[in-house]
Amino acid sequence: MANFWAKTPNWIKPFFSKKFVWNINNNKELSVYFTFDDGPHPQATPFVLEQLDKYDAKATFFCVGNNVVKYPYVYQQVLDRGHSVGNHTYNHLNGWKTDTEKYLQNIAQAQEYINSNLFRPPYGKINREQLKSMNNATPPWHICMWDVLSFDFDRKLSPEKCLENVIKNIQPGSIILFHDSTKAWDRMSYALPLALEFCKSKDWKMKKIEL
Ligand SMILES: [Zn+2]
């Protein structure tokens, strides 16, 4: 399952709703869920943490195991500031190009460093067999996709357009995908503070994913 829409269309969600988490609806309050993939990163992650603190926001970081090993002090900061973390494999593997045994082993390797029941497949690509294994695991994984894609990883996109992708599509319950990475830096560092400001102006709570 891969998708490259800035807004995941509602018609697609029911087909996968039992297997994937696309958004989180909480009737009691209006909340949105910022997520950051591919870190920890020595420059991008501390920047993100600082922005989140400014807006009293909590978020979820889908970490690459190998980066946790490289930057344990950055990873520790994410935990110390009360955010949640998820598994994003050890080597950022593409599920469509990796056999299931190797894929699951790589996730288990990341799990040695990342204590979480949340998983996000790199590139949004996971095959049916891999998904089934993860849904049947004890305890089962929560496979977290997203509702709003910022496209911050797309170097051809302007920072302004990246912000527009978020602002136009975000709504209460949305899971928003950004990246704390070198590749996404120019767009993420511009769009994130303004996206947080936008949510604050709407009086939406910015929360971490806990399932
Ligand atoms: Zn990724």
- Report the pLDDT value the prediction gives residue 193, as an integer from 0 to 100: 98
> Domains of the chain by range and CATH?
21-206 (3.20.20.370)
Q: Could you tell me the distance, in angstroms and rounded to a whole number, from the CA of residue 38 to the centre of ligand 1?
A: 5
Instruction: Provide the annotated active-site residues.
Output: 37, 179
The answer to whether 103 and 93 are in contact (CB under 8 A) is: yes
- Cα–Cα dist 47/41, whole Å: 10
- pLDDT range class, residue 138, cuts 50, 70, 90: confident
Q: In one letter, which amino acid is 19?
A: K
pTM over 0.85? The answer is yes
Give per-residue pLDDT as tens, 59-102.
999 999 999 999 999 999 999 999 999 999 999 999 999 999 99
- Report the pLDDT value the prediction gives residue 2, as an integer from 0 to 100: 47
Closest C-alpha among 67, 87, 94, 66 to residue 144: 87
The answer to whether 64 and 110 are in contact (CB under 8 A) is: yes
Give per-residue pLDDT as tens, 22-48.
888 876 789 999 999 999 999 999 999
Q: Is the pLDDT of residue 139 over 90?
A: no
Q: Could you tell me the distance, in angstroms and rounded to a whole number, from the CA of residue 93 to the centre of ligand 1?
A: 9
Chain centre distance of CA 165: 16
- pLDDT range class, residue 210, cuts 50, 70, 90: very high
Give the list of residues 6+ apart from residue 199 with CB closer than 8 angstroms, or none.
Answer: 32, 55, 57, 170, 206
Q: Could you tell me the distance, in angstroms and rounded to a whole number, from the CA of residue 28 to the centre of ligand 1?
A: 31
